[in-house]
Amino acid sequence: MTKEKHSPVFDSDELLDGHKSLILFNDDFNTFDFVINSLIDVCSHDEIQAKQCAFIVHYKGKCAVKSDSFSNLKPMFDELSRRDLTVSID
């Protein structure tokens, strides 16, 4: 007896509102203070969390700065992008 392989089926709401991460990438032109203040303003980080994320991005090249549904992360993605920070939603 052979097992059939099935691809998972997702409806569009599940794809859009499933658990996602907002990823911030390192760059060579934004200052630590600018990144920290942006994370506080846009992602509602406290100062310690924002500093930790900024250092992780600096030393590791990227950091998941927020986890939530796509629909909640999209406005943060848009604002961080508007501030010329390099971000993605994965």
pLDDT tens digits in sequence order for the chain, 90 residues long: 444 444 444 445 445 567 999 999 999 899 999 999 999 999 999 999 999 999 999 999 999 999 999 999 999 999 999 999 999 999
Residue 29 CA to residue 49 CA, distance in Å, equals 21
How many helices, marked H, and strands, marked E, lie in the chain?
A: 4, 3
Residue 18: predicted pLDDT: 76
**Domains along the sequence of the chain with CATH:** 19-89 (3.30.1390.10)
Q: What is the largest CA-CA distance in the chain?
A: 61
pLDDT by residue (tens digit) across 33-46? Answer: 999 999 999 999 99
Q: Is 68 exposed, middle or buried (0-12, 13-18, 19+ CB in 10 A)?
A: middle
